[in-house]
Structures are given as structure tokens and as C-alpha cells.
């Protein structure tokens, strides 16, 4: 009790006389790198609701332990997660799902599955069309994708010989960093078999997923530090040394943004262990609280859909109907089989095996715990044999997406999947090993569910493709018996769809809830992240994505942090006389 009051008192004193140039709210995947880049030039406050995850949840450092805290069971909790649970929704047969989101320095980069790749060229052209901003063309954002990343080629001495990695070293720059991107020292042996299965159904080996193309399969690069095979999060990389100019407030919740009479954002009301203060920003306030919290902060600060704000008794400063709307995510699901390769199932069911493998990671940087579990990815448009049965409505919905935008992603999942309720406890304890292939819907017509007819037709086709892979001759030596779940009795499209609804989960990619774009299209922020209708306020994180690009979004969060930081450094805030000319 005493220590808490002392902290609160210190907190109060430390901010009494403090005025900052910039305040960044949210020390996550986007906010933390953005704050560190700006701190080279200005005085910053970084306000983060959580603390250091290495202390609160040390397992977050271990790639192979990433599956533990993220299950869909509404009771799932961990000390670095916000514990969001959805309302019951139709596409999931009225189930309520836990959706993990990081609450710590590093944000969701401390909880994610570490897959790191870049989107396709034409998907960024869609972004350009919707924002009228050519600076988002692939070749124009490429330097910002590259800037954060220090790339290290795979360690061929430790990986299986039959799990070699192709990559394009030219996709990275020597001066990039500090975020480490490399490959696990260990490949999932299930993935080595899956390669043959993909080939047989017509999905071929790709060279690289970092140069604007997502087609075919390969081992993806991951946010792993090669020296010790630890997770490389935004915090572990950008904040592993003291940053002069940056004051980090941990365990501090931003309550709302306060405006002056000219609608300039000037203060953030924050709360630390129940103790409230106002922090002042002389230049700008930047919200990077993630796709679920950034719109909430705008709304409690008076920016959002009028009716919604009035229902909650909030005075409307600026009406922006799209705040909190238009969320995109990627639904996923997949069947499970018994296999005769050593898998996650054994780790889950044998404590001694688990302990020995954990020590192998900690002491030697080897073994399954160096692997973030999902290492082999594949992308495709649903091929003609299945596509020919799609309705006109579905074909029309899919034609909205450009040629290089894959409709389906398949991810190697060396364990039992089911409804992803609890990836450890759900592993059957019957002596068998299990493996699954996750199918991810990348071209949803609605926003992140499987409610429309076109989405349903595509996910069913995706499910059938996964069954073709498991039925391939290449996989035959490792697959034991018939499909375990849902099993061969599930055959018609309607039966498959029912299984999908009962087991679907979202891939933790919520985005677009404060989307950027043109003011006449009711966007919330412009393409530089500036909130329409007020001054000196930006939103920069996954909520500001114009669209959810195909694949995994963390690289785009880092890109956005670098791009907007550069924009601010070059052009200053809305304060013209401070424009820097020495760059």
C-alpha cells in the first residue's frame, strides 16, 4: 500500500511541471518506434497502460510459447493482455471469442506469432486509390518497410537440411534496424512434409515474401533476434537502451484528449494507479493505442458518431461517423489430422519433454522453442476447379481485389486446432501427435466475419483445398488414418460451413477503425494520420490502416511509424516556423 502511494506521489511530482513537445499514447508496435524516432529531435512523453512484459510475463520472450495466452476461450487471461471478448456473433454461431491484444510496452508485438513479410504491390495501389496519396505506392513505402529491419539470413548449421529457406537479401538494407528479422534455428518437421503437399496441389515454392508478391509457399521470416532466439518486439528492439528525450510513463492509462477553444489538442488526461494528471503537448498528440482503443479514445474525447456519443453523454466536438466503424480482420479455421511426426501435442502432454526442450532454447538457442510454431506459409487465389462453382455474386465480390491479392493463406500448424479455445489444454492426450493447416480468408467482403454468401463460398473452398493437401501422396507417409476433426462424415458445403461457424476465430488483425482517406469519403484521418476536424492530433497504428492489406500486419505498423515519423520530422507539426531544414 505504502509503496503504491509513494509511486503515485512520485508520478504526481514528476509531471507537475512537465510540458512536452509531443505526447504519444500507446507504447505498442507502432507507437513505440514512432516515439523513439521523434525523440531524436524533440522532448516526448510516451504513455503506456502496461509495463515491461519481460518482468510480467517472461514467457513472452520465447518464440515457441506464443500460442499459450491467446486462445479464444473468453476466460483466457494473461498479465500482458487486455482480455477483450467479442459480443456473440452470427458468423461464429453466436459464440463469444477472446481476442488477445497486448497491454505492455511492445503492445501486440509482444504477443504475436512473429510472422514478418510485406504486402503485395497492387494491394498498396488500392490504398493509394482510396487515399489519393502516391506516397503509399509499394516502391515509395519500401524504404519505410526497410528502415526498421535488421535482417539476418537463416542459420543453415542448425536447421534441418530438408528445410532450407529461400530469400532475397536485396529486400533489406544494411543500415536497417533495430528490429531483428530472421528465421528460427529449428523448422517444424511437419512443415517439411507440407512442402510436398503444397507442390502436389499446385502451390509452388516462392523465393520471397518481402518484395511485393505473395504467391506460393515458403518459410517466412520472423521477428526473432538471431543471437539468442528471443522474440524481437518493438520494445525489445527500440527500447533496449535509454533514449534521451523520451520519458516513458508505464502503468499509465490515457483517459482522454483535451482541446483548447481553437480545437487544438493540447493535453492528455492520464491516470496512474488511480491518480490523475494532465500532460501538456506544445506541438502534437499522437494516438497509437491500437485498433480497439484508439477509436475509444477519440470518442471519449468528443470525436465520433454523433448518436453514439450522445447516447453515452459525451459532448460532441467533431462529428466523425467512421470512428470505431469499418473494422477489418482475417477469419481463420482448419481441420486437424493425426500425424507421425513429433509435434506440439507432445510438448503439451509431457512435462519432462517440455522442460527439456525449454532448456534447450534457453541454454543452446536450439529446438522447437526457438520456433514461433507457424513457420511455413502459402498464398493463392482459389484455383479454377473450385472457383468454377462460385456464384456470380461471389465472383463479383472477389473481382474487387487486384490480381496479386491472394484470397487464401495456408499456415502450417503442427498441433491440434479445434476451436482454438486453448491451444495447450485442447491438445488430445491420447498418445497421438496432431497437425493442422490453418486457412485464412484474406479477401473478406464484409469486415472480418464469414457472414456473406461470397465469404462462405470462399472459406468452404479453402477448407477443401486444405483437405486436398492432407490427401496428397507427399503427405501420405506422415498422415495417420482419416481426418480427425471434423472427420469424413462432414462432406456437403453446408456441413463444412457449419463446422467453420462453430470453430472460426479471428487472426488478431483488427484494423481500420480510424481509417485514413479522403474527407469526402468520411475517413477519420488524412493520409498523414491527422484527425479531420481538429488540430495537432494524429492517429498512427493499425486503426489508421485504409485497408487491411493481405497477410500479417505488423510490418505495416512499423512502416507507418517510420513514414509518419519522417513526415513529422521533415514537415513539423502544424507549426510552420519549426519546419526543419537541415535534413
Ligand X SMILES: Cc1cc2nc3c(=O)[nH]c(=O)nc-3n(C[C@H](O)[C@H](O)[C@H](O)COP(=O)(O)OP(=O)(O)OC[C@H]3O[C@@H](n4cnc5c(N)ncnc54)[C@H](O)[C@@H]3O)c2cc1C
Print the binding letters for residues 151-190 with ligand NAG: x by CB under 6 A, - otherwise: ---------x-x--------------------------x-
Q: Which residue is nearest to ligand X (CB)?
A: 28
**Least separation, in Å, of the C-beta of 49 and ligand X?**
4
Q: Does 72 bind ligand NAG (CB under 6 A)?
A: yes
**Least separation, in Å, of the C-beta of 571 and ligand X?**
22
Q: Does 193 bind ligand NAG (CB under 6 A)?
A: yes
Closest to 92 in 3D by CA, of 581, 409, 451: 451
Out of 18, 55, 205, 276, name the contact with ligand NAG by CB under 6 A: 276
Closest to 50 in 3D by CA, of 249, 236, 250: 250
CA distance 550 to 406: 7
**Least separation, in Å, of the C-beta of 256 and ligand NAG?**
9
**Least separation, in Å, of the C-beta of 394 and ligand X?**
27
- Residue (5 or 162) nearer to ligand NAG, CB: 162
Cβ(327)–Cβ(512) under 8 Å?
yes
- Partners of residue 231 on adjacent β-strands: 224
Question: What is the phi/psi pair of residue 15, to 5°?
Answer: -105, -5
CA distance 125 to 467: 33
**Per CB under 6 A, which region of 22-30, 270-278, 357-365, 430-438 contacts ligand NAG?**
270-278
**Per CB under 6 A, which region of 1-9, 274-282, 388-396, 435-443 contacts ligand NAG?**
274-282
Cβ(212)–Cβ(138) under 8 Å?
yes
- From residue 304, give the alpha-carbon distance in Å to each of 262, 309, 315, 319: 18, 7, 10, 5
CA distance 363 to 373: 19
Residue 303: name its binding partner from ligand X, ligand NAG, none (Cβ under 5 to 8 Å by kind).
none
Q: 206: burial class by Cβ within 10 Å (0-12, 13-18, 19+)?
A: middle
Q: Is the peptide bond before 503 cis (omega within 30 degrees of 0)?
A: no
- Residue (273 or 580) nearer to ligand NAG, CB: 273
- Residue (195 or 329) nearer to ligand X, CB: 329
- Residue (257 or 475) nearer to ligand X, CB: 257
CA distance 473 to 196: 8
Cβ(96)–Cβ(358) under 8 Å?
no
Q: Is the peptide bond before 178 cis (omega within 30 degrees of 0)?
A: yes
**Per CB under 6 A, which region of 271-279, 344-352, 377-385, 508-516 contacts ligand NAG?**
271-279
User: DSSP state, 209?
Assistant: S
Q: Does 436 bind ligand NAG (CB under 6 A)?
A: no
- Residue (101 or 456) nearer to ligand X, CB: 101
Out of 325, 419, 449, 472, name the contact with ligand NAG by CB under 6 A: 419
Q: What share of the chain is helix, strand, coil (3-state, %, to 5)?
A: 35, 20, 45
- Residue (256 or 357) nearer to ligand X, CB: 256
CA distance 453 to 464: 17
**Least separation, in Å, of the C-beta of 99 and ligand X?**
7
Three-state secondary structure call for residue 343? coil
CA distance 339 to 170: 38
Pairing type for strands 216-219 and 252-259 reads unpaired
Q: Does 258 bind ligand NAG (CB under 6 A)?
A: yes
- Residue (305 or 372) nearer to ligand X, CB: 372
117 is catalytic: no
Out of 46, 97, 124, 461, name the contact with ligand NAG by CB under 6 A: 97
Which pairs count as long-range contacts for 301-309, CB under 8 Å and 24+ apart, including other chains? 301/256, 301/257, 301/258, 301/259, 302/259, 303/531, 303/533, 303/534
Cβ(373)–Cβ(344) under 8 Å?
yes
**Least separation, in Å, of the C-beta of 327 and ligand X?**
12
Using only C-alpha atoms, the chain has a radius of gyration, in whole angstroms, of: 23
* Given the residues 98, 293, 509, 552, the one annotated as active site: 509
Q: Does 269 bind ligand NAG (CB under 6 A)?
A: yes
Q: Does 278 bind ligand NAG (CB under 6 A)?
A: yes
Write out the DSSP string of 497-510.
HHHHHHH-EE-S--
3-state SS track over 102-133? ECECCHHHHCCCCEECCCCHHHHHHHHHHHCC
Residue 278: name its binding partner from ligand X, ligand NAG, none (Cβ under 5 to 8 Å by kind).
ligand NAG
Residue 371: name its binding partner from ligand X, ligand NAG, none (Cβ under 5 to 8 Å by kind).
none
Which residues contact ligand X by CB under 6 A?
Answer: 25-31, 47-50, 70, 100-104, 107-109, 111-115, 253-254, 288-291, 293, 297, 508-509, 541-542, 552-554, 557
Residue 483: name its binding partner from ligand X, ligand NAG, none (Cβ under 5 to 8 Å by kind).
none
**Per CB under 6 A, which region of 112-120, 166-174, 276-284, 433-441 contacts ligand NAG?**
276-284
Cβ(503)–Cβ(426) under 8 Å?
no
**Least separation, in Å, of the C-beta of 74 and ligand NAG?**
7
Q: At 58, which helix (H) or strand (E)?
A: none
- Residue (155 or 237) nearer to ligand NAG, CB: 155
**Least separation, in Å, of the C-beta of 27 and ligand NAG?**
21
- Residue (523 or 540) nearer to ligand X, CB: 540
The three cell numbers of residue 530 are 491527422
Site for ligand NAG in 309-368 (CB under 6 A): 341
**Least separation, in Å, of the C-beta of 269 and ligand NAG?**
5
Q: Where are the beta strands (DSSP E) in 391-520?
A: 408-413, 433-441, 479-485, 505-506
**Least separation, in Å, of the C-beta of 377 and ligand NAG?**
17
Three-state secondary structure call for residue 522? coil
Out of 421, 427, 454, 506, name the contact with ligand NAG by CB under 6 A: 421
Pairing type for strands 265-272 and 252-259 reads antiparallel
Number of residues that bind ligand NAG (CB under 6 A): 18
Q: Which residues are catalytic?
A: 509
Residues that bind ligand NAG (CB under 6 A): 72-73, 95, 97, 160, 162, 189, 192-193, 258, 267, 269, 276-278, 341, 419, 421
Amino acid at each position: 500500500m505504502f509503496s503504491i502511494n509513494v509511486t503515485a506521489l512520485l508520478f504526481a511530482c514528476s509531471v507537475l511541471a512537465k510540458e512536452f513537445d509531443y505526447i504519444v499514447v500507446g507504447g505498442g508496435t507502432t507507437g513505440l518506434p514512432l516515439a523513439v524516432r521523434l525523440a531524436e529531435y524533440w522532448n516526448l512523453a510516451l504513455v503506456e497502460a502496461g509495463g515491461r512484459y519481460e518482468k510480467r510475463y517472461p514467457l513472452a520472450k520465447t518464440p515457441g510459447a506464443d500460442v499459450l495466452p491467446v486462445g479464444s476461450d473468453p476466460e483466457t487471461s494473461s498479465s500482458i493482455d487486455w482480455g477483450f471478448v467479442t459480443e456473440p456473433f452470427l458468423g461464429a454461431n453466436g459464440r463469444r471469442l477472446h481476442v488477445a491484444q497486448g497491454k505492455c510496452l511492445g503492445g501486440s508485438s509482444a504477443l504475436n506469432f512473429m510472422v514478418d513479410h510485406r504486402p503485395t504491390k497492387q494491394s498498396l495501389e488500392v490504398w493509394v486509390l482510396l487515399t489519393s496519396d502516391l506516397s503509399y505506392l509499394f516502391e515509395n513505402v519500401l524504404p519505410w518497410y526497410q528502415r526498421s529491419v535488421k535482417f539476418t539470413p537463416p542459420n543453415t548449421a542448425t536447421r534441418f537440411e530438408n528445410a532450407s529457406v529461400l530469400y532475397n537479401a536485396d529486400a533489406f538494407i544494411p543500415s536497417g534496424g533495430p528490429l531483428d528479422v530472421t528465421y528460427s534455428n529449428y523448422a517444424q518437421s511437419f512443415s517439411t512434409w507440407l512442402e510436398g503437399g503444397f507442390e502436389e496441389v499446385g502451390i509452388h515454392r516462392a523465393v520471397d515474401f518481402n518484395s511485393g508478391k505473395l504467391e506460393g509457399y515458403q518459410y517466412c521470416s520472423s521477428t526473432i533476434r538471431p543471437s539468442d532466439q528471443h522474440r524481437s518486439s518493438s520494445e525489445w528492439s527500440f527500447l533496449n537502451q535509454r533514449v534521451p528525450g523520451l520519458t516513458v510513463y508505464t502503468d499509465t492509462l490515457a483517459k482522454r484528449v483535451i482541446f483548447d477553444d481553437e480545437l487544438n489538442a493540447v493535453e492528455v488526461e492520464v491516470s496512474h494507479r488511480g491518480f490523475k494528471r494532465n500532460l501538456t503537448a506544445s506541438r502534437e498528440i499522437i494516438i497509437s493505442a491500437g485498433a480497439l482503443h484508439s477509436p475509444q479514445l477519440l470518442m471519449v474525447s468528443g470525436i465520433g458518431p454523433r448518436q453514439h456519443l450522445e447516447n453515452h453523454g459525451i459532448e460532441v466536438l467533431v462529428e466523425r461517423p467512421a470512428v470505431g466503424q469499418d473494422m477489418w480482420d482475417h477469419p481463420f479455421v482448419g481441420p486437424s489430422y493425426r500425424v507421425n511426426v513429433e509435434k506440439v501435442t507432445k510438448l503439451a502432454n509431457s512435462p519432462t519433454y517440455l522442460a527439456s526442450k525449454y532448456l534447450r532454447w534457453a541454454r543452446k538457442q536450439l529446438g522447437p522453442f526457438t520456433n514461433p510454431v507457424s513457420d511455413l506459409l502459402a498464398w493463392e487465389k482459389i484455383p479454377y476447379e473450385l472457383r468454377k462453382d462460385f456464384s456470380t455474386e461471389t465472383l463479383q465480390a472477389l473481382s474487387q481485389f487486384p490480381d496479386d491479392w491472394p484470397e487464401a493463406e495456408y499456415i502450417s500448424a503442427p498441433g491440434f486446432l479445434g476451436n482454438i479455445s486453448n491451444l495447450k489444454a485442447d491438445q488430445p492426450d491420447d498418445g497421438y501427435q496432431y497437425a493442422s493447416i490453418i486457412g485464412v480468408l484474406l479477401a473478406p467482403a464484409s469486415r472480418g466475419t464469414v457472414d456473406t454468401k461470397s465469404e462462405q463460398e470462399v472459406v468452404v473452398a479453402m477448407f477443401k483445398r486444405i483437405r486436398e493437401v492432407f490427401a496428397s501422396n507427399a503427405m501420405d507417409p506422415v498422415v495417420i488414418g482419416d481426418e480427425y476433426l471434423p472427420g469424413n462424415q462432414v462432406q456437403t458445403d453446408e456441413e463444412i460451413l457449419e463446422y467453420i461457424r462453430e470453430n472460426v476465430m479471428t487472426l488478431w488483425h483488427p484494423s481500420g477503425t480510424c481509417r485514413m482517406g479522403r474527407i469526402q469519403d468520411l475517413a477519420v484521418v488524412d493520409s498523414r494520420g491527422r484527425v479531420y476536424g481538429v488540430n495537432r492530433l494524429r492517429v498512427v497504428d493499425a486503426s489508421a490502416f485504409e485497408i487491411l492489406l493481405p497477410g500479417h500486419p505488423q510490418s505495416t505498423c512499423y512502416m507507418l511509424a517510420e513514414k509518419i515519423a519522417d513526415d513529422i520530422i521533415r514537415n513539423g507539426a502544424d507549426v510552420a516556423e519549426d519546419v526543419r531544414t537541415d535534413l
